[in-house]
Structure 1
Amino acid sequence: MLRFKIQIFLIILVLFNSCSKETTQKSIIKEKSLELQVQEAYNEGVEALEAGDVLYAAKKFNEAEILFPQAVSAPQSALMAAYSYYTQDYYGDAIAELERFIKLYNTHKDLGYAYYLLAICHYEQIVDEKKDLQSIIKAKENFNIILKDYQNTEYAIDAEFKVELIDDILAAKEMYLGRYYFDKKKWIPAINRFREIIDNYDTTIYAEEALHRLVEVHYTIGLIDEAEKYAQLLGYNYQSSKWYENSYSLFDKTYKKKKKERLKNNKKKTGGLLKKFKTLLE
């Protein structure tokens, strides 16, 4: 009887070990199969992207991420989905993917690239400075993140260049509005718009005209002293420009050009405005 019980115990033990090994083996096979599925989905995404089928490519990259979200390749799959949308100008989808990436993988090594591509997606939607203000603001916001947090990356140089172009666009918008208010004889809003240019976009191509317009507005409403201050500032920085000549002509014979001897520094400024004479405007 005892021998029979021992035999039954050994049989059960063997069966248990066998089942345990089979379960472990199935688990390993299943894990390998999942990794294989992820790799296959990613590879299909790459092939579709190269073939120009960006929607299917994005779908496969998303699939690769969803199949194994804990995988090292998951963030890369998410970025590739965003890039797929971007290549064919599906900006809304690309932006959604990139914002999700930034939120979900906020410590990833390619976070700088995500911000850069996000900025580019907004930037490339700018068509008209009078209509696309949201795209302009978002583009500049994300380019500035690059310049602040990723200044040593390869994206920083282009980000700096793009911010300069965006500032030109924003200055153009302010100039457009300033001229509009001037034509409507709304002097205070006009002055505010022109001041916005020389205060925040003084390195743009609109800075000269903004100074002239401030001379023009103040002269028109009879604030001659204020007009002269802006004329001096314009002359100091852009004495050879057409805008200075236009400002000078406003005063006719009653206002003469300021002599160079009155300036402590004869050199024309090559950088921003207002560093020497900003106190005149306070």
Structure 2
Amino acid sequence: MTDRSIQRPARSGAVLRTSVLLAVLIAVGSSGCARFGKMFKDEDADEGQPVEAIYEKASRSMKNGNWSGAEQSFKRLVAQYPYGPYTEQALIETAYAQYKAGKHEEAISSIDRFIRTYPTHRNIAYLYYLRGLVNSTRDAVFLQKVWSLDASRRDLATPMQAYNDFTIVTERYPNSRYAADARERMAKLRNMFARHELETALYYLRRDAYVAAAERARYLLDTYPQSEHQADAVATLAAAYTGLGNEALATSARNQLQQLAPNHPYLAGDWPDYPSNLRKLNPFAGEKSALDND
């Protein structure tokens, strides 16, 4: 009798704990099913909707900066209505949404597919312009933004492609609304390319590779005339020719620099100002070149 009176509460407690556990599992399962159901419902929300309604929904997402939502809605529009003016515009907007979301590879793929499919589309100039924008920022990574790393020191393959894209806009579609901005962006890219050549020339100059430094400076002047680094290139020539002991060419370069930029620090003996070795050993100092003025 005593044994049974002791054992019953134990069995009753176990049953109670089991019941509570089952209730919790059922509640969690129901909640999970509800969430999954809502997710599937959201995915199918555009199913069977008129093309105008889907397009309007996607456009609202774009206005609100919901690039991922806009991309998904535009893709569903294209899947349900593969032909027509809404579809063509949705393909364009998809590429733009991908660009704004930082999905550069996907944006380039969408743009190239559109250009192949609609090579004579009325908005084709915009597609080349957009491809230029994507390629301009394609290699921009988090550390570049945080540490302000110099883009001219990075691989220039995609900026070169961006330059080619903007060139297409300015040469094939000179009267388009995107041509003027494309020209401005081309000028900025040329300055980047010129700085890349100048940085290389200064690298050679610091290591007493005077012939290589002079060749790079001359290439800059010939390839990117009127760039913002023209005076620095002439100063590099003067320094390289001085290092080579060719006083005639050095004097000619100095005279040219005097006419081009009479206040250039090279003429006062204060250029190039290379970063110290101590600074280069500091991983938190950020990048600095002889072209930077602190």
Q: TM-score, normalization: structure 2?
A: 0.66
Asked if 1:245 corresponds to 2:267, the answer is yes
The aligned runs of 1:178-217 (5 Å cut-off) are: 178-217=201-240
Tell me, in whole angstroms, the C-alpha distance in 1 between the residues paired with 2:54 and 2:237: 61
8 Å contact kept, 1:177–1:193: yes
Pair 1:50-2:102 in alignment? no
Report the residue type matching 1:77 in the other structure.
A
The aligned amino acid for 1:92 is: E
1:277 maps to none
Q: Check the 8 A contact 1:129/1:170 in 2, yes or no.
A: yes
Shift in Å at residue 197 of structure 1? 1.6
CA distance in 2, matches of 1:66, 1:192: 55
More moved, 36-45 vs 182-191: 36-45
Residue 36 of structure 1 deviates from its aligned partner by: 5.9
Identity %: 22
Match of 1:124 in 2: 137
Query: For residues 124 and 93 of structure 2, what CA distance do their matches in structure 1 show?
Result: 13
Aligned pairs (5 A) from 1:12-161: 37-125=50-138, 126=140, 128-161=151-184
Q: What code does the residue aligned with 1:231 have?
A: R
Task: Give the distance between the partners of 2:62 and 2:48, measured in 1 at CA.
Answer: 21
Could you tell me which amino acid in structure 1 is paired with residue 257 of structure 2?
Answer: L
**What do the CA deviations read for 1:210-265 (whole angstroms, capped 9, x no partner)?**
10110111121112222233233323433x23257248x9xxxxxxxxxxxxxxxx
Give, in angstroms, the shift of residue 185 of structure 1. Answer: 1.6
Amino acid at match of 2:132: A
Structure 2: runs of 5 or more not aligned: 1-46, 145-150, 272-294
Q: Which residue of 2 aligns with 1:173?
A: 196
**What's the CA shift for 1:183?**
1.0
* Structure 1 position 56, deviation (Å): 2.8
**TM-superposed deviation, 1:77:** 1.0
Distance in 1 separating the partners of 2:122 and 2:76 = 22
SS at match of 1:73: helix
2:256 matched residue in structure 1: 233
Mark the CA change 1:122 to 1:218 in structure 2 (over 3 Å): closer, same or farther.
Answer: same
Q: Distance in 2 between matches of 1:75 and 1:96?
A: 15
What SS does the aligned partner of 1:141 have?
helix
Residues in 1 aligned to 2:56 and 2:48: alpha-carbon distance in whole angstroms: 12
Specify the code of the residue in structure 1 equivalent to 2:82.
P
**Equivalent-residue separation in structure 1 for 2:104 and 2:72 (angstroms):** 16
Q: What amino acid sits opposite 2:109 in the alignment?
A: A
Supply the distance in 2 between the matched residues of 1:35 and 1:229 (Cα, whole angstroms).
76
Q: CA offset at residue 114 of structure 1?
A: 0.8
Q: How does 1:253-272 map to 2 (within 5 A)?
A: none
CA pair 205-85 structure 1, distance change in 2 beyond 3 A: same
Residues 39, 64 of structure 1: 8 Å contact kept:
no
CA contact (8 A) 1:78 1:101 kept: yes
Question: In 2, are the aligned partners of 1:82 and 1:95 still within 8 Å (CA)?
Answer: yes
Letter in 2 for 1:75: E
Contact 2:159 2:189 in 1 (8 A): yes
Q: 1:222 & 1:85 partners in 2: Cα distance?
A: 56
Q: Give ranges in structure 1 of 5+ residues lacking alignment.
A: 1-33, 250-282
Question: Is the partner of 2:85 in helix, strand or coil?
Answer: coil
